[in-house]
Structure 1
Amino acid sequence: MTKQDYTTFTISDFLEDPDFLRHVKYQLPEDRLFWKNWQEAKPENLAAYLAAELQLQLMLSPKPLKTPPGLEENLLATIHQSIAKGHKRLRIRRQQYYWAGGIAASLFMVLFISWFFNATVRIHTTYGERKKITLPDGSEVILNANSTLSYPRAYAWKQNRAVKLEGEAYFKVKHLNRDIAQVKRGELFTAQTGTIEVQVLGTTFNIRERRGMAHVALIEGSVRVRSVKTGQRYQMKPGNVVQINSRNGLLTVEKQGSLQQSAWTDGRLIVNQTTVNEILRDFEDVYGYRVILDDPALGDKKIDGSISIKSEEGLLFTLSHILNVNIQKQGKVIYLKNR
């Protein structure tokens, strides 16, 4: 572990230090030995260490923190019993004031910890918008348009790294594990939608769930995919694409196609015998329009190649030339009409 001069650390410093967090969460033998020796040296800020340790243990408690019934009344009763008989009324009032202030501060701390540990960070993209997100563990996520990523506010203190996704996102997960054969709690990363659950140690992959179908495309590394509805599992290899039907949970595997699934991160749409209808459905999901073809038969036309999707205008311009149609916009509806 990285040895730092912890003698000057405050409570906040301890709660932001990865070595301290790992020690309290996992109690590894080498960590226990280091912190035992550090405490025996009796540093001046030992109280800050103990306070941070207690606060983190409260946050890691598996049960939601609740304010015990009658806490304030019991504390006030204890205060009154501890005040010696015969003290002056003014002194009694002062003591009650100070103790009541301490009670209020304690209650606030308990409620704040409870809120913090159970709160969720929610990041949403609108139509046509993309966001690059760095999670507290250093993992990176590119969130596609019309999508939502959520994770616990106390992500860094949770026993497991877990996020939830609605829409589409590209993940580059940071390795935390030292020994692949013995994966410890907190090293595994889980990404879940309403249909699929993806578990990884550290890898790069793309998830999309729209219109009743979920897709996982593995770029590098290794992931295990599970159908939430059926429990069916599959261990993916780089290049694999897993497709799961949201209605029945049926899982199917394509051996190749992962780069095609993740090309959107570079502003491209790679199509291989892809129908116009499929391309237009993706366009509607990303930009929020409804597209109507003047000739429905054009929707079955298949296209190969690479199409720029950096802007809605660029994609529509390309399609207008491929299909030989004119484009008309009326609010959020686009008409592709034969020339």
Structure 2
Amino acid sequence: MDFAKYAAYRVTDFLADDDFIDGVLQPTAQTALFWSRLAERYPAQQANLAQAAAILRSYRQQDTFADATIQDELWQRIAAEVGPAMLVAARLRARRWPTVLRVAAAVIPLGVGSFAFWYSQDQQVRTAYGEIKTVDLADGTQVVLNGNSSLTYQRGWGHRTRQVWLRGEGFFRVAHLNQDTAQVQPGERFVVHCRGLNVEVLGTTFNVNDRPGKVNVGLVTGKIRLTTALPNQPPTALTLAPGDYVEYAARRISAPRRLAHPEHLTTWSRRQFSFTNARLGDILKTLQDAYGYQVTYAHPEAANLQIEGEINVAGVAELLETVSASLHVRIAQQGHHLVVN
């Protein structure tokens, strides 16, 4: 991203900037560094950065109000803080935000200060390639992160709705707080956000794989509800039963398919690999996403070769050996570079 284009941005410009919104709501170490350096380079922009971030943060923290009167009151309070002109642009932009962000919350101005300081209020756990890490949240929920993944949540997490933001792959064992599924209180909801898809649960175990291009969700036990809220599209929702597996790509949720062994979704957390009727390209992409391997095909069509039946192996070396023997291909390894001949 280019620093210069932000030199003259107003609050409404930041609210209309997809990179800024993604950096605030789906932070990574790289984006945090970018916005911190931007604030250092343009001190005059610190107030605008802080105010725009406060608006986004305020929306994310509160509960959604469907009542139009309450929403109108909210916008009037925002107008009092940011001015009528800014209100128009912010309101237009808000129509493009996910529903979970369009919530009743008065904007709390942060004033002139370090944007980097505000940014540090989000807590983030990251894993390196090949690293598996277990995160214990304050409510008793446990999240196992695969390699090259991150889990973001707010400081003081759990006092309101329990929300986390996932990039990469994670297996969730969610603590069951409510007793009545028909009367779920705000603090009992647990929501995982990833690339426009929201996974809402009450008490369950499930796997989410959020990699470039698509998000895969598989339910092991319990019950989860998937929702989307996309620009110029009506919200969609889908409830999964144990064993259901769906793909979210191109802003659409696929029809659920049944898994014969949903427990295989979590074999990666034990550093094992499990595939059923998998293509070579999909198998090696797993190594790319979670372990940082680079893959080169001497003949690109080899990526479509399929292994019929199941593979259950422990470790990368055994996986490569099994794939090579099953498909009669040669996979040369040079460090983290794989060449398929």
**TM-score, normalized by the shorter chain, greater than 0.5:** yes
Partner of 1:251: 254
Alignment partner of 1:318: what SS?
helix
Q: Residue type matched to 1:186 in 2?
A: G
Alignment partner of 2:266: what SS?
helix
| Distance in 1 (alpha carbons) for counterparts of 2:214 and 2:122 | 26
Give CA-to-partner distance per residue, 1:5-25, whole Å, 9 cap, x none: xxxxxxxxxxxxxxxxxxxxx
Partner of 1:74: none
| Deviation, structure 1 residue 301 | 2.2
Which runs of structure 2 are paired with 1:116-127 in the superposition (5 Å)? 119-127=121-129
Alignment partner of 1:156: what SS?
coil
Q: Which structure 1 segments of 5+ residues have no match?
A: 1-60, 70-110
Partner of 1:274: 278
Contact 2:214 2:247 in 1 (8 A): yes
Partner of 1:156: 158
Partner of 2:303: 299
Partner of 2:227: 226
Q: Residue type matched to 2:304 in 1?
A: D
Give CA-to-partner distance per residue, 1:52-80, whole Å, 9 cap, x none: xxxxxxxxx955655789xxxxxxxxxxx
Pairwise CA RMSD: 2.8
Q: Which structure 2 segments of 5+ residues have no match?
A: 1-103
Q: Residue type matched to 2:271 in 1?
A: G
Closer, same or farther: CA 320–205 of 1 in aligned 2, 3 Å? same
Between 216-225 and 289-298, the greater mean CA deviation after superposition: 289-298
Q: Percentage identity across aligned positions?
A: 30
Partner of 1:311: 315
Between 138-147 and 273-282, the greater mean CA deviation after superposition: 273-282
Closer, same or farther: CA 311–63 of 1 in aligned 2, 3 Å? farther
Partner of 1:288: 292
Give CA-to-partner distance per residue, 1:300-326, whole Å, 9 cap, x none: 222121232x43323222223223344
Contact 1:118 1:152 in 2 (8 A): no
Q: Residue type matched to 1:206 in 2?
A: N
Q: 1:146 aligns with which of 145, 148, 151?
A: 148
Alignment partner of 2:318: what SS?
helix
| Distance in 1 (alpha carbons) for counterparts of 2:151 and 2:162 | 13
Closer, same or farther: CA 67–166 of 1 in aligned 2, 3 Å? closer
| Distance in 2 (alpha carbons) for counterparts of 1:244 and 1:165 | 14
Give CA-to-partner distance per residue, 1:115-143, whole Å, 9 cap, x none: 78981111111111110110111100000
| Distance in 2 (alpha carbons) for counterparts of 1:288 and 1:118 | 27
Bigger RCO (CA 8 Å, 6+ sep): 2
Q: Residue type matched to 2:257 in 1?
A: E
| Distance in 2 (alpha carbons) for counterparts of 1:218 and 1:67 | 40
Aligned residues: 231
Contact 2:273 2:315 in 1 (8 A): no
Partner of 1:174: 175
Partner of 1:21: none
Contact 2:132 2:269 in 1 (8 A): no
TM-score normalised over the length of structure 2: 0.61
| Distance in 2 (alpha carbons) for counterparts of 1:294 and 1:272 | 25
Give CA-to-partner distance per residue, 1:269-291, whole Å, 9 cap, x none: 33222111111111211111122
| Distance in 1 (alpha carbons) for counterparts of 2:178 and 2:200 | 13
> Are 1:335 and 2:336 matched, yes or no?
no
Contact 1:207 1:216 in 2 (8 A): yes
Instruction: Find runs of 4+ consecutive structure 1 residues off by over 6 angstroms.
Output: 115-118
TM-score normalised over the length of structure 1: 0.61
Closer, same or farther: CA 148–228 of 1 in aligned 2, 3 Å? farther
Closer, same or farther: CA 331–142 of 1 in aligned 2, 3 Å? same
| Distance in 2 (alpha carbons) for counterparts of 1:284 and 1:256 | 24
| Deviation, structure 1 residue 156 | 3.3
Closer, same or farther: CA 184–313 of 1 in aligned 2, 3 Å? same
Contact 2:190 2:200 in 1 (8 A): yes
| Deviation, structure 1 residue 215 | 1.2
Between 216-225 and 270-279, the greater mean CA deviation after superposition: 270-279
Contact 1:116 1:153 in 2 (8 A): no
Q: Residue type matched to 2:214 in 1?
A: M
| Distance in 2 (alpha carbons) for counterparts of 1:120 and 1:66 | 18
Give CA-to-partner distance per residue, 1:86-142, whole Å, 9 cap, x none: xxxxxxxxxxxxxxxxxxxxxxxxx9xxx7898111111111111011011110000
Q: Residue type matched to 2:310 in 1?
A: G
Contact 1:161 1:190 in 2 (8 A): yes
| Deviation, structure 1 residue 238 | 0.7
